[in-house]
Each structure stands twice: as C-alpha cells, then as structure tokens.
Amino acid sequence: MKIIIVFGGISFEHEISIVSAIAMKDVIKDELIYLFLDKNRDFYHIPTNIIKSRLFSLGEYTKYNKVYLSKKSFFTKGVFSNKTIDFDVVLNLSHGGDGEDGILSSLFEFYDIPYLAPRVEACSISSNKFLTKAYALSLNVKTITYKYYNKNDEVIINQYPIIIKPLRLGSSIGVSIVKNKDELEYALDIAYEFDNNVIIEPFIKGIKEYNLAGCKIKDEFHFSIVEEPQKVDFLDFDKKYLDFSRTSTATKADISANLEEKLKSNFKILYNELFEGSIIRCDFFVVEDDVYLNEINSIPGSMANYLFDDFSSLFKNLASNLPKKKQIPITYEYVNKIQASKGK
C-alpha cells in the first residue's frame, strides 16, 4: 500500500504535526509519501529518505517539488508534462487548524481523494470544545461542568482552582490552571492569544485520567489498550509534545474490567457513525467510578500508535475499508420539466 502523509498546515500545532509525521517512518511498514503543507497552503513533496525537522525550520523544503491536486490525484508539474503521484490512500496528520477543523477533509472530499481522517462534520464537532461537550451530553456521555466565554465577556469565578482552555486548540497550548483571582487575568490573556473563546472548568486535583484509542471497521470496534497518563496536575505543552514522536508501546493501565468496559462503551457512543474512517483517541476523566469525557482527539499525536499492539495492520485494515460517500444523481429532471411546460 502506498500512503501519502499530509502534514503541516496553518495551525498553532504546525510544528507538532512535523514531528508526528516523521514518527510514522518507524510505525507504518508500507511505502510512505510525504506531502508538506506550508504557511502559504502550498504542498511540497518531501523525499521520504531525507525528511527531517530542520528541512522545515530552515525553509529548505522549498527546494523540492510543489504538488497540486486534481480529481482523485496529486501531481507535480514538469517542463513538458505533469507527473501524477501514485498512491492508495491519504493519512491526514495535520494537527489543529487545517487538519482537524475540516479544511483538509473538505479539500479531499471535493477532489474525491480517499483519506483516513474524520469527515467534515466530525471535524467541526471535535475541534471545538463547546460543540464537543454539547455532542457528548446529547448522547448521555457525561462531561465536567463548564462555562463558555468570549473575549468581551466579564468572567466571574465563584470557586477556585479552575482550568482555562482555548476553545479550538489541542496539545495544552494556552491552557492554564488558575488557583486564585490574582492569577485569572493573566491566564485569560494567555488563552486569548490563541483563541477569542475559552472554556473554563473546575480543576479537580488528582482526578483519574485515561486515554483510549480505536476505530470501527465493518461495524466492529478495534480498541487500543487503556493508558493512564503520567500523574501530574495536567499535561502541559512540553510534556504532550514528546507524545507526538512516541513509537514504543505504552503501559496498560491497572484498572478493573468493569471500568475498562465503561470506557469502551462511552467510546463507542461517541465514535458512533460520525467518526467512521478515522482512528481517534478519547481522553476520559473518572470521578467516583463515573466516566466523563475530557476531549476527543480526532487526529491524535503519532496517531496514538503507541497504544496498539499492531498499529500498521490496523491502519491498513481501516484504509482498505473507508466509508463511501453516497452518490447523488444529477439528472436535470426538474429543469427539463420546467422547460417542457414552457414548450421549450
């Protein structure tokens, strides 16, 4: 199988995407073709054997061929003719904006390009923490109590500590724990540097957190192990950044069979039909044996490969069974009837 990995894009998580994409060389056993999306939204074909992070920080990626899209294909331009890139499927590994907000999914849909990632509707929901919570609650999946604010709102907090999160960012970028009123204004300033909207939740010290990844193939769910992240107040950007280059298998959480089943049950409800065609990771909180959704990672760091025993086989299986878009016939029957009634 020939797999195009699309990474980069206009996002605060642009650099994380580079690290995540490079890590796939140690994870996926099939042929990889790297397409980098730069800050101008131009695609470049980066040779797999020379890809390294310095190519992008130094701007050297521009030495390589620009790539263009056409119906069902990518191609490079030549002096005498264009050269089509041979591939089977695209893996969207652009974290944050462009990749997780639906822009790239829309592009692939428009050009009828097979891709492994959430479809447009799923991106719209999972990239926005407010919509994610509303989606979960509508399916009777619990979430931690929260308040939503925009930049012009007065923020009134009755009880501390709290945690402030930009609405549309992952990787703990712009996230702060606020312990008292004196810290509030500064934390809000940090969050508003990245987004005009924030979610504020109570910060529960020592809360149990568990991560579970998986996907659905032919109506059957395939799960990773359940991981319990390292025990710190919360995983800040620097700690999470390291996860994006992880390729070694994580340690399975020491939890009861009953709790593991609860986590999987909530995952199934959230995955539903909405996330078909993608491998996602759900991060859950557990309070007094009740499961609460923290967030849905629609394009998790390094595709959460470190949570699976055989990620490469799972990837290939899903890539061979992507959802097919319903074809809508365009017959002009209605227009023809109007013209016929007019005698034209």
Please tell me which residue, 234 or 90, carries the higher pLDDT value.
90
pLDDT at res. 8: 97
Query: Are residues 176 and 201 in contact, defined by beta-carbon separation less than 8 angstroms?
Result: no
Is 241's pLDDT higher than 60? no
Whether domain 125-142+206-319 has CATH 3.30.56.10: no
What CA–CA distance (Å, rounded) separates 85 from 64?
Answer: 14
The total of other beta-carbon atoms located within 10 Å of residue 268's CB is 13
pLDDT at res. 233: 52
Q: Do domains 125-142+206-319 and 145-202 have the same CATH topology?
A: no
Tokens of 15: 């650099």
Give the tens place of pLDDT for each residue, 166-178.
998 876 788 999 9
**CATH class of the domain comprising 2-117:** alpha beta
pLDDT at res. 42: 98
Average pLDDT of the chain is 92
Is 21's pLDDT higher than 50? yes
Q: Coil, helix or strand for 286?
A: strand
Please tell me which residue, 91 or 234, carries the higher pLDDT value.
91
Query: What percentage of the chain has pLDDT greater than the value 70?
Result: 94
Query: What percentage of the chain has pLDDT greater than the value 90?
Result: 83
Is 240's pLDDT higher than 70? no
Q: How many helices (H) and strands (E) does the chain have?
A: 10, 17
Is 282's pLDDT higher than 60? yes
Q: pLDDT confidence of 20, banded at 50, 70, 90?
A: very high
Is 119's pLDDT higher than 70? yes
pLDDT at res. 342: 79
Residues 6 or more apart whose CB falls under 8 angstroms from that of 115 comprise 89, 90, 91, 92, 104, 105, 108, 277, 322
Query: Are residues 47 and 53 in contact, defined by beta-carbon separation less than 8 angstroms?
Result: no
Whether domain 145-202 has CATH 3.30.420.40: no
Give the tens place of pLDDT for each residue, 35-64.
999 999 999 999 999 999 999 999 999 999
pLDDT at res. 117: 97
Segments making up each domain of the chain, as ranges: 2-117, 125-142+206-319, 145-202
Long-range contacts of 52-60 (CB under 8 A, 24+ apart): 52/22, 53/15, 53/18, 53/19, 53/22, 56/8, 56/15, 56/18
pLDDT at res. 249: 74
Alpha carbon of 133 to those of 71, 114, 116, 147, 341: distances in Å?
A: 36, 29, 24, 11, 51
Lowest average pLDDT, out of 91-100, 129-138, 333-342, goes to 333-342
pLDDT at res. 243: 52
CA diameter of the chain:
77
Q: pLDDT confidence of 325, banded at 50, 70, 90?
A: confident
Q: pLDDT confidence of 71, banded at 50, 70, 90?
A: very high
